[in-house]
Each structure stands twice: as structure tokens, then as C-alpha cells.
Structure 1
């Protein structure tokens, strides 16, 4: 399967940058032409860089992106995800929204629904978006992350340890189909892990550009979520791989 081959290539390059096309072809039991096609696609997706004597990862380990940049990326995909997410929110429930631009789109849609919910969030921008809504809004305590607007730290963790919600919507910027969900820092990974555990059901809300990336700290495995809500641009091979671990919506 192409997606597994390409994931293997990314893993081999991550551990040994001097890997050659010949080595990869032998290890994968495919032709060198097949490996070249895979590398060309990985280059087009900006996952590797080929030089005259090496294959290098490009942006494989992601750092935190400021909110002002994230809000301009894949906006239509995020709106589609928010529309799908709304189907899993019911009157009088308590829901938890992770910080992020995709969950902010869920907030915008919640402003116009004809029922009330209680919304818990660690995102000051999401809370501000809902100031004039009919919903009850609870913002988690903690330290505000500069340029991002999310709350983190001991107070955030303490609150998450003491609540239970009907459904959690959690975001991420890095997913490895075979390894799990990642965050840029240990602190952020801990907060997101607790958010998953808080929900009677929990959904990963993520656009298709976040796949085939990793970051510093692992949050959890794919099967820890009730389902993954993503956009229609997700590669079909990746979608099939995900289906073995959880429901893809």
C-alpha cells in the first residue's frame, strides 16, 4: 500500500538521513522507480527534500504556529469539519472545546443553533466569540499561551481532572497514522489527553493537512477517540488505514 510505503520512507529518513533509493527499494521489495515516485509525491507534499546525496525530512517535527497564521490556513476545510461536528452536539449537554482555529469554527456555528449547551474551553478566543451567545460558557483557568490564546498549566490540569462532559472536541497539528496524535510540548499534550478522558465521547477535529506529521510529545492513540472528524480531501489510503483504529467522519 502506497501510504504504508511512504510512512516507512519517512520513518527511515528520520532515523538515517543517508538512506538511498536503492536501500529503500530493497527493504520495501519494490522497484527503484516506485520509490522515486513515492519520493516525488512526498516532495510535492513538502515532507522531504532530496539533495544530490541525501533525502531529508522537511517540517516533519512541527512547532507551535501562531493563531494569526493558523486562522488563514484551510479555512473552508475547517468550516466543513465544524458543520459535521455540530451533528454530535445536543440540547442541554456540556461540551468541551479544545483551543484552535477548527474548534473556533464550531463556536461560530453554535452561536446560531436554536438550543442551549454548556461550553467548557481553554481558548480565550472561543470564549470571546461566545460572549453574546445564549450558551453558558466556562473558561478553564491557567496561563495564557502567548500568540496562541490557549490556557495551560497546573490550574488547567486541575480543572480538567475534576470535570466530566458529554462530548469533547480536541484538535491537533500532527498525526501519524501508525503512531498516534502529537503536540508540540509535553504540557500541551497532557492537557489534550485529559480533554479526551473528560468526554463520555470524544472526537478529534482535524483537517487533512495535519496527517503524516509528528511533533515532540504524544497525546494518545487514534483508538482513544470515539471518532475523527476531518474534511473530504483526506487521502483514501489514509482514510482506510484510520478506519481500522476508529470511525472516520
Structure 2
């Protein structure tokens, strides 16, 4: 309950960076005392700053519409997706999460490659609709409008399937916490995709590192590989690598792997 209220407060404050205690209590349908207590807890976690009678949202991961985000950091996303392609081979079963970097990867898939793809992304499904050699499975659930994806309504349903790889996205990434999302509803789909995959690969550009987002979707230990670009903070990349995670640092200038931590055989 507390985590849900924390997430709701952050969600409200992403639309309105400065808000009064009274406004929050009315929007949350709870007492001002409850709001103050929750804001104090969020302040301890460095999400908000409490002032007399109001609160200010601190640096947070952006919650943007798909069509805005697809135009951001394009060179980095393209380079990350180019390197991620080396993990895809014919006849694999692959989970493709929603996310604009993963959409770049989707657009690189050859039309004549036989694959089975499980994806909640409506944009991915639309892109692959003319790839007749790719079998597409879209899980049932509610639509998440801003990122054009399906929120899986029954996570147990997906357990009947198995995947070789899950390509996963996140709203923000912190060490040692792992991958984070804005709301609890988004975490369920990502965990469901990861749960059936032998290998979990997180794709993220430098802008996702070390920004605040409230709900942990995947722990660092849940991941096998992280592919990011060379603008990612090296200190945090090194810390993540020290936890045993394989990390590929990509150079967007030529789509090459600039540094490879804990390299494993593909």
C-alpha cells in the first residue's frame, strides 16, 4: 500500500513538479498527515524535497510519450541495437520488451529470419507484421497508451512458454538496485518476460543511468548482460561489472564495442 502511494505521488508530481500538501491529499483521497509522512519517506530516498506546505520533485527519469522518446538519443540507440543483433540467431524464441531502443533492434531483424517473438509492444508487432517468417505472440492485457504496449494482465499465462533471450528495457537504472519503472503496473510485464528467458539482456542508453524512478522491475542479479553506450557513467558501469554482470560499452560513432566487461562466449 505504501509503495503504491509513493508511486502515485511520483506519478502526480511528474505532471506537476511543485505541489501543495493540500492538493496531494485531495488527489490521493487521504489526510494531509498521511501525505506528509509519505513525502518524508520519499525525501529520505532522494525523490522529493519537502518545503513548508508543499513538495518539489527532484531529478527523475522522464515519462515521455513513445513518439517523443523515439527521436531522442537515436545514434546511441542504433549502436546499442546493432551490437544486440549479434545475440539473435535463426529459430530462436525471443521476448522483446516495449521500448524505443528495442524498437531499433526490431527494425533490424531480417525478413527472412525464422523466429518466434513474444512482445507486449504494439509498435514491434506492427513492424513485424510483414515478416512472414517471424511468428508473433502478443500477450493479453490492458493498453499502456504512452508507450504503445500491453500490460500483461495474467503473468502466470506466460509461464507456459520458454524463450532463449529476453531483450528488456527500463525507465532508469541504478547500481546496485537494477532496473526501475515509474509505476508498479509496468514492472509486472517486464518480470514476466524475464521469467521465461534463459538469458536476460538489458538495453539502455546513457540517459537512463542513475536517475530516479520508484519501482524496481529487475534486480541487477536478474540480468545476464547490459548493453549501453560509452556516455554511460564509467564509475557506475564498473560497479555493475564488479557484481559479475557482463557489460558491453558501445561506441555510437562506429557501432563498435569499445569495452567489454566479464566477456562470455556467445
Same fold (TM over 0.5): yes
TM range (shorter): 0.7 to 0.9
- Structure 2: unaligned runs, 5 residues or longer: 1-42, 51-55, 249-266
What is the match of residue 35 of structure 1? none
Alignment map for 1:68-79 (pairs within 5 Å): 68-79=67-78
1:111 equivalent to 2:98? Answer no
1:59 equivalent to 2:59? Answer yes
1:188 equivalent to 2:186? Answer yes
Shift of 1:57: 6.4
Contact 1:13–1:57 (8 Å) recurs in 2? no
Q: Provide the rounded CA distance (Å) in 1 between the counterparts of 2:157 and 2:47.
A: 39
Contact 2:48–2:58 (8 Å) recurs in 1? no
Count of aligned pairs = 199
TM-score (norm 1): 0.73
What is the match of residue 244 of structure 1? 242
Q: SS of 2:46's equivalent? A: helix
Q: SS of 1:230's equivalent? A: strand
C-alpha RMSD over aligned residues: 2.2
Q: Provide the rounded CA distance (Å) in 2 between the counterparts of 1:140 and 1:16.
A: 35
Once the two structures are superposed, residues 176-231 of structure 1 have per-residue CA deviations (whole angstroms, 9 ceiling, x without a partner) of 11222111111111211121111111101111110001312111211211110111
What is the match of residue 5 of structure 2? none
Q: SS of 1:119's equivalent? A: strand
Contact 1:141–1:159 (8 Å) recurs in 2? no
Shift of 1:147: 2.8
Contact 1:168–1:201 (8 Å) recurs in 2? yes
Q: SS of 1:77's equivalent? A: helix
What is the match of residue 93 of structure 2? 94
Q: Provide the rounded CA distance (Å) in 2 between the counterparts of 1:226 and 1:238.
A: 17
Once the two structures are superposed, residues 137-162 of structure 1 have per-residue CA deviations (whole angstroms, 9 ceiling, x without a partner) of 1112211111321101424x243232
Contact 1:71–1:101 (8 Å) recurs in 2? yes
Shift of the 233–16 alpha-carbon distance from structure 1 to 2, 3 Å rule, reads closer
Shift of the 123–15 alpha-carbon distance from structure 1 to 2, 3 Å rule, reads closer
Shift of 1:235: 2.2
Contact 2:121–2:150 (8 Å) recurs in 1? yes
What is the match of residue 9 of structure 2? none
Q: Provide the rounded CA distance (Å) in 1 between the counterparts of 2:74 and 2:47.
A: 34
Contact 2:95–2:167 (8 Å) recurs in 1? yes
Structure with more strand by fraction: 2
Shift of the 150–247 alpha-carbon distance from structure 1 to 2, 3 Å rule, reads same
Q: Provide the rounded CA distance (Å) in 2 between the counterparts of 1:165 and 1:16.
A: 39
Contact 1:14–1:57 (8 Å) recurs in 2? no
Shift of the 248–57 alpha-carbon distance from structure 1 to 2, 3 Å rule, reads farther
Shift of 1:119: 1.0
Q: SS of 2:213's equivalent? A: coil
Q: SS of 1:223's equivalent? A: helix
